[in-house]
């Protein structure tokens, strides 16, 4: 089984100095990676945030979870990513998604096309990125993109381009993730366009077993080479996890046991959480764990116990 890696997803800080300090704290606590999302709400711009975080640290990997494919043309974004990968000496992971948060589209005036269209557009973009990062000129003529003999400069530090992370919860996106990605980030279905109660209902163990089968379908013989990542929606260190699960279950129409076994939830004492993570790695293959700013310091003992093991 793959050794554990732990990632923190952050959105920004009050000042540049505070952001640098936050990145250094993430690194000092043993986390592997700092991720920034890509939305038009109250967060820093991801490219600048990731560049500053990489510059402020020495070993921390930075990445996007995930860039919205609709926000930037692949030829434009590829140049920025190659530059960041080069500047960070390869400490960058490229996360890409089809876009899901409807408020991003409402506020910007971008067309919020049907999911089938957004995913098709992302699939075309993936083929363009593959060509660009291969070191040869890219030519692609599809329904959504027309690229003619495009070259990528500068060359990225990482041969073949930075590791590709594809995140999602639908069959089609996870099948694409199995086909293209190095890291597959599994989340509940975001078809509603916002985070709501259905996220918890879609975060139960059986739903993730089904999602895992979709990744396998897309990956075929390369499945064993994939790193499987789980994005957590709720994480808490506590000595009374039973009370937490019993309180949360009725809120989402689930039993306490369903909440306890849901991969999106991590709750318990440090030893209990360690047991949960080892159990989920054995069951689902999840070795890359995404936490958030509110809890990453409290989870430092878990990271210290499991990172790399």
Give the span between the Cα atoms of 5 and 295, in whole angstroms: 16
Burial 232-258 (b: 16+ CB within 10 A, else e): bbbbebeeebeebbeebbeebebebeb
Going by pLDDT thresholds of 50, 70 and 90, the confidence category of residue 200 is low
> Is 200 in contact with 252 (CB distance < 8 Å)?
yes
> Is 174 in contact with 211 (CB distance < 8 Å)?
yes
Task: Find the mean pLDDT for residues 9-28.
Answer: 98
What pLDDT is attached to residue 229? 98
Q: Please tell me whether residue 231 adopts helix, strand or coil conformation.
A: strand
Task: Find the mean pLDDT for residues 213-227.
Answer: 97
Geometric angle at alpha carbon 13, from 75 and 193, rounded to 5°: 55
- CATH number of the domain where residue 96 is located: 3.20.20.30
Going by pLDDT thresholds of 50, 70 and 90, the confidence category of residue 20 is very high
**Number of domains composing the chain:** 1
What pLDDT is attached to residue 199? 66
Domain of 80? 5-306
Task: Find the mean pLDDT for residues 210-233.
Answer: 97
Q: What percent of the chain clears pLDDT 90, i.e. is strictly above it?
A: 91
pLDDT in tens, 90-106: 999 999 999 999 999 99
Q: Which residue has the higher pLDDT, 122 or 248?
A: 122
Between the two ends of the chain, the Cα-to-Cα distance in Å is 9
Q: Which residue has the higher pLDDT, 123 or 198?
A: 123
Residue 149 has pLDDT above 90, yes or no: yes
pLDDT in tens, 75-89: 999 999 999 999 999
């Amino acid at each position: 089984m793959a050794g554990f890696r732990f990632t923190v997803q952050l959105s920004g800080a009050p000042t540049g100095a505070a952001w640098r300090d936050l990145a250094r704290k993430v690194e000092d606590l043993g986390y592997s990676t700092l991720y920034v999302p890509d939305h038009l709400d109250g967060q820093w711009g991801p490219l600048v945030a990731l560049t500053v975080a990489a510059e402020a640290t020495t070993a921390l990997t930075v990445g996007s979870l995930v860039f919205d494919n609709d926000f930037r043309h692949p030829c434009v974004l590829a140049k920025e990513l190659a530059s960041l990968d080069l500047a960070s000496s390869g400490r960058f992971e490229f996360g890409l998604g089809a876009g899901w948060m409807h408020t991003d589209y409402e506020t910007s005036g971008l067309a919020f096309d049907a999911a089938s269209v957004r995913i098709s557009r992302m699939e075309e973009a993936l083929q363009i990125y593959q060509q660009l990062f291969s070191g040869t000129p890219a030519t692609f003529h599809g329904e959504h993109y027309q690229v003619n003999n495009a070259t990528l400069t500068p060359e990225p530090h990482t041969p073949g381009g930075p590791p590709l992370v594809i995140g999602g919860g639908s069959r089609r996106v996870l099948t694409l993730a199995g086909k293209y990605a190095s890291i597959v980030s599994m989340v509940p279905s975001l078809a509603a366009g916002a985070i709501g109660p259905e996220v918890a209902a879609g975060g139960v163990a059986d739903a993730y077993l089904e999602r895992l089968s979709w990744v396998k379908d897309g990956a075929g013989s390369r499945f064993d080479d994939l790193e499987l990542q789980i994005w957590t929606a709720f994480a808490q260190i506590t000595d009374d996890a039973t009370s937490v699960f019993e309180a949360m279950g009725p809120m989402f129409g689930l039993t306490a046991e369903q909440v306890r076994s849901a991969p999106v939830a991590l709750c318990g004492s440090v030893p209990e959480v360690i047991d949960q993570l080892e159990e989920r790695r054995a069951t689902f293959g999840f070795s890359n764990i995404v936490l958030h700013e509110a809890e990453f310091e409290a989870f430092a003992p878990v990271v210290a116990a499991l990172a790399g093991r």
